[in-house]
Chain A
């Protein structure tokens, strides 16, 4: 097998030729309607926005920083502007049940008018009604009624008195009522003298008095009835006066809002209420009058312009109260008071008839907000209740405003993990969010898409009011986008990273007083971004330079190899070489993964180690026991490792330990293997290569150094300029690996050797050295076993077994 050839420099980076871009600056480009490569998600969004059936709400998923919010808002705003403007809504006092304010729906634009009309009506009432009741006409008619009652009572009593006189009886008043007494010569007869009267006369008196008492009783019982009659007449008088004062005005309003039954009912109720509360108006008690007038107002919670289109609301703080609205309270002498004018709308109200955008993670982290949203969507109406009310912690009487029928399309934004968790664990979720819009992370990099990408950059620049970009700058952004996608054949889908890059480059262009953003400004921004984020990387390089962390980059060593790892810190990732070492001695086929034993290794890493141990066993001890006890460790690694990208390096170091084959430390290895020894792709190759390059560069570039990586990772290479220049000058090399034997040859300098028909490897090959050493281990074990068998001592077992 031949040694792997180092990759030519043009395989390390896919440049974007500015000449291929047919514009000078992005100012010439038409803006894009929709972001490129997101057809699937856009189709879903479009469908979700159009479907009016309940439950067809949307979940837009994509990674953080993908620009979901901006994209969704832009698309929905464009769409909503074409849609009909939804209604205005206001809360009115409920004269039948004051704790349940009524909801009035008005055509858009009418809300403000109604509120104004009612304010004006109140203003009129405030002045007209008291003056009406102070008028001479009212006063004299009221007095007349009062006198009517007096006259009636007086006449009744006078008639009674006259009748009594006919019987020689008089009506006497006691402190608590009336009584009759017989009279003679204008004086009440003394009871003793009465007894002396003839019996006939006495009986006559008694009968007369009994008769009169009955009549009196009748009169007294009539009085409340008369009073009631008079009250009724007073009420009719009040009604008449009120109609005279404001009837015309109320009638006008009734005609204006006659088509709205709730408004018409409210106006009628106002009229009746004024009549009901005449005394308050008459008394001139300002506070009481204001209290009554206040109830005639309209609490306009949603007011729209007639042609403003459907609303698009982004709720950045989706708490229960901010979603469903709330009822505020006044503190009055230590007590909390509220009324319908203190009802405040929530974002559900504001977005009614349109779209409500909510960040899924935010709503899920707000206490009980998610159940409230679901309940509202399921019920199809917004009920303004406090959490205390909903959960019964608060039982004091408070308002229960009439719920508002809801026709809002809710758009949740979140990452995929949230979507799949909700779909799996929340049974209501699939019912309420039937449309998923899954944003692509990246798109294929071909000529057509590069052109689209350029237009997307132009759109961002125009929208954010940046300077136009020269085509050189666009080309650089496209290259960077490939690097972000970790793939020379794909482009990252844009989003926050690209926006921020353009903003920053625009800033540098401004500093340089340039008309356009040039490639240098992009480079400057990228370098600055890297510099800002690279403190830990520089620290890491420093500890390697000082020898605190031992990473030899020259010479050959047995049982040691340079592996590669990637550290992700926020948005910034960097590669760092890691020294992997191994030990080998006779044993019963154990491979100790020290990382796993120390609980520093993850599951995938363990799996990689198991695969390589099985590969080792099947290759070198296919038909017998593998007499080996080996261990692998990541030196100076204290934070835990995971992933199987070190499998190739681990296998090589193990073979080096067994076969006592020195390994070239100028070459670092990455790649995972399968049980057949084939090398498979891993992630983060660019960062890994650059990480090792930096370490080599700070020690010394010898020209023999390089990185071996899976051949299938080659299309992912988008290496930075320094590496490419070093490769060009043959100071650094990148080797593609297909099989673990390629790595073995490259690292040891020996041919790997292929097993012959008898299963033995050719002499002088690396595999032969391994096989021979394993055979010696087996021999040693056999001999030891025999000796122990002879002495009867127990067979030595590995401690870790």
Chain B
């Protein structure tokens, strides 16, 4: 691969989507790290949900709390809360970016989260968001918002989840499809690797075609660039099994193409939900 090719896939800007939840704050930290490592600009986006404001405009709207308590909501209260949270996000961003010396900017916009976020990012942007935001109390690990963004973003998206493990050399797994697509994913992966990160595990995207895959150009590329990387033997048909295999392999991050069969097979929600480490979805 030529340097130009790699540079073409190297993100020019990091965009992080924030909602002041715990998960999004963790994602912010990761985004700041990425920006610092790559010496790129960081754009933080906070969306004031218009739908919520509209909803609060109805005099008969009620909010059902997590305790089951029902209380009225008003536009003024909702707006106030949104301002507070934006402020919270602003100060967190300032704190983190100053510490790492990252040029950061917060954009507050009003509208629908997916729409606004997708409108802001281009193909050169690396979008980072927290895995569990609002969805937590609904028993979801990945909200509909995140799902829509993963699907719709033009560039790579990282669904971040805080990992308990902190090792010096961080292992990254990549899902490799046969043919040209696999090579593209690998190149993307190389471009997206962070500080001290290395590709250590290759997951065949089409397990039934494993043998052919290992003879492919992608495999050749992997051997050349990351000779220590090994192939995952067993067919990772089940998302849970895949998660366990990643755990055993000491993997801290997974890179998968949006077009991969694996993602299509399990559905982004199921796969990303099951894997409890950050997942980067490449175009």
Q: Name A residues whose Cβ lies closer than 8 Å to a Cβ of B.
A: 136, 140, 143, 149-154, 156-157, 170, 172-182, 187-191, 194, 206, 209-210, 213, 216-217, 220-221, 223
Contacts and interface: CB of A to CB of B under 8 A. Distances in A.
Contacts of B85: 175
B68 A220 contact: yes
A191 B66 contact: no
Contact of A150 (B52, B134, B139): B139
B242 to A, nearest CB: 13
A748 B272 CA distance: 135
B140 A174 contact: no
B55 A172 contact: yes
Nearest to A151: B139
A206 B134 CA distance: 25
B58 A181 contact: yes
Given A173-B138, A188-B50, 14 more contacts: A150-B140, A154-B139, A170-B51, A172-B55, A174-B52, A176-B63, A177-B64, A179-B63, A179-B64, A181-B58, A181-B61, A213-B70, A220-B66, A223-B137
Contacts of B60: 206, 209-210
Contact of A191 (B49, B54, B81): B54
A639 B138 CA distance: 103
Given A150-B141, A151-B139, A152-B139, A178 B54 contact: no
Contacts of A175: 20, 81, 85, 134
Contacts of B62: 179, 213
Given A150-B140, A153-B138, A174-B78, A181 B54 contact: yes
A695 B63 CA distance: 120
A172 B139 contact: no
B57 A191 contact: yes
Interface in B170-212: none
Contacts of A178: 63-64
A180 B61 CA distance: 7
Interface string B117-142: 00000000000000000110111110
25 contacts: A150-B139, A151-B139, A157-B140, A173-B134, A173-B138, A174-B73, A175-B81, A176-B63, A177-B66, A179-B61, A180-B55, A180-B61, A181-B58, A188-B50, A188-B54, A189-B54, A190-B57, A206-B60, A209-B60, A209-B61, A210-B60, A217-B64, A217-B68, A217-B70, A221-B68
A189 B61 CA distance: 13
B139 A181 contact: no
Contacts of B240: 140, 143
A170 B58 CA distance: 14
A188 to B, nearest CB: 4
B283 to A, nearest CB: 26
A190 B54 contact: yes
B51 A188 contact: yes
A151 B140 CA distance: 8
Contact of B55 (A136, A177, A188, A220): A188
Contact of B51 (A177, A181, A209): A181
A174 B64 CA distance: 9
Interface string B74-104: 0000100100010000000000000000000
A172 B70 contact: no
Nearest to B135: A173
Interface residues of B, number: 33
B40 to A, nearest CB: 31
A149 B137 CA distance: 11
A611 B275 CA distance: 118
Contacts of A143: 240
A187 B51 contact: yes
Contacts of A213: 62, 64, 70
A172 B138 CA distance: 11
B112 to A, nearest CB: 8
Given A152-B139, A154-B138, A213-B70, A220 B54 contact: no
Contact of B73 (A140, A173, A179, A221): A179
B24 to A, nearest CB: 12
B197 to A, nearest CB: 27
Interface in B236-264: 240, 244
B55 A181 contact: yes
A220 B63 contact: no
A136 B141 CA distance: 22
B215 interface: no
A455 to B, nearest CB: 85
Interface string B136-172: 0111110000000000000000000000000000000
A371 B247 CA distance: 69
Contacts of A140: 240, 244
A153 B273 CA distance: 15
Contacts of A157: 138-140
Nearest to B144: A161
A149 B81 CA distance: 30
A194 B73 contact: no
A172 B66 contact: no
Nearest to B21: A175
A674 to B, nearest CB: 107
Contacts of B139: 149-154, 156-157
A179 B67 CA distance: 14
A136 B55 CA distance: 47
A325 to B, nearest CB: 48
Interface in B207-248: 240, 244
Nearest to A139: B244
